[in-house]
């Protein structure tokens, strides 16, 4: 194995993200990243302690694209939340296999913590207090994470929808009809429609 060039957190994160984009999150390991970089596995341990630390670097690389400054004041709070959600969706949607890391690293990810702080600030300004504010944040974050995974792993435009549409109407009439309707719903319509329904519920 050739003598490794000097590595940096940015290089490690880029290599880790490339592995995840290519092989999925389960393909991420110190060995696969070392191979991608053309260095020995042991060389990586001079820069990170373990895979967990490597995951954190990758997540921050992805979340670095998220603008966490509050949207312009004065707009209705659902619109401001929608802006924040859209920013997160754009960043994570470009690398959907990274999405599970938002759960395992949620308490130590600076990018995700900054995003959550801004969302909580918007909710506070809208009058959400105490437990209601906590539940609202969790509901919003849960929606974003789940919707992104559905969009990329079980898209309405995918083969699964076509299969469901062909189910026997006497056994699954509602599922079959829903699948037929789903063919005419774009990913953006699905995402923003679901988000709007969630935010209306939170406002109740």
Same domain, 86 and 142: yes
Same domain, 36 and 102: no
Same domain, 82 and 21: no
pLDDT at 1 over 50: no
Same domain, 95 and 178: yes
pLDDT at 6 over 80: no
- In DSSP notation, 152-176 reads HHS-TTSHHHHHHHTS-TTT-HHHH
Domain finish residue from 25, 40, 63: 63
Same domain, 35 and 120: no
The answer to whether residue 25 is domain-embedded is: yes
Structure confidence at residue 69 as a pLDDT band (50, 70, 90): very high
Domain that holds residue 196: 77-202
Number of domains in the chain: 2
pLDDT at 3 over 50: no
Same domain, 52 and 112: no
CATH number at residue 58: 1.10.10.60
pLDDT at 5 over 80: no
Same domain, 109 and 178: yes
Q: Report the alpha-carbon distance of residue 60 to residue 85 in Å, rounded.
A: 17
Q: Is 152 exposed, middle or buried (0-12, 13-18, 19+ CB in 10 A)?
A: middle
Q: Report the alpha-carbon distance of residue 111 to residue 108 in Å, rounded.
A: 9
Same domain, 195 and 107: yes
The answer to whether residue 68 is domain-embedded is: no
Same domain, 147 and 86: yes
CATH number at residue 122: 1.10.357.10
pLDDT at 98 over 80: yes
- Reported pTM: 0.90
The answer to whether residue 70 is domain-embedded is: no
Question: At how many degrees (to 10) do helices 77-93 and 130-153 cross?
Answer: 40
The answer to whether residue 1 is domain-embedded is: no
Q: Where are the alpha helices (DSSP H) in the chain?
A: 9-23, 30-37, 41-44, 51-63, 77-93, 101-104, 110-125, 130-153, 159-165, 173-182, 187-202
Question: Closest Cα partner for 25 from 92, 112, 84, 88?
Answer: 92
Domain finish residue from 24, 41, 63: 63
The answer to whether residue 2 is domain-embedded is: no
Q: Report the alpha-carbon distance of residue 87 to residue 103 in Å, rounded.
A: 18
The answer to whether residue 72 is domain-embedded is: no
Structure confidence at residue 56 as a pLDDT band (50, 70, 90): very high
Same domain, 92 and 172: yes
Question: Closest Cα partner for 129 from 202, 191, 60?
Answer: 202
Question: Closest Cα partner for 200 from 81, 115, 86?
Answer: 81
């Amino acid at each position: 194995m050739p003598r490794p060039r000097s590595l940096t957190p940015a290089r490690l994160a880029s290599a880790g993200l490339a592995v995840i984009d290519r092989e999925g999150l389960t393909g991420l390991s110190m060995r696969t990243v070392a191979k991608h970089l053309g260095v020995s596995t042991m060389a990586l341990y001079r820069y990170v302690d373990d895979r967990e630390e490597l995951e954190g670097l990758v997540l921050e690389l992805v979340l670095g694209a998220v603008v966490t400054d509050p949207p312009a004041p004065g707009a209705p709070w659902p619109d401001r939340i929608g802006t924040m959600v859209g920013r997160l969706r754009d960043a994570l949607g470009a690398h959907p296999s990274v999405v599970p890391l938002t759960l395992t690293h949620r308490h130590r990810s600076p990018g995700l913590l900054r995003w959550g702080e801004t969302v909580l600030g918007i909710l506070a300004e809208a009058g959400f207090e105490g437990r209601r504010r906590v539940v609202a944040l969790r509901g919003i974050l849960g929606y974003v994470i789940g919707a992104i995974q559905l969009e990329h792993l079980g898209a309405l435009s995918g083969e699964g929808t076509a299969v469901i549409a062909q189910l026997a109407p006497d056994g699954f009439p509602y599922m079959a009809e829903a699948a037929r309707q789903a063919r005419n719903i774009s990913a953006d319509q699905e995402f923003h429609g679901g988000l709007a329904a969630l935010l209306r519920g939170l406002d109740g």
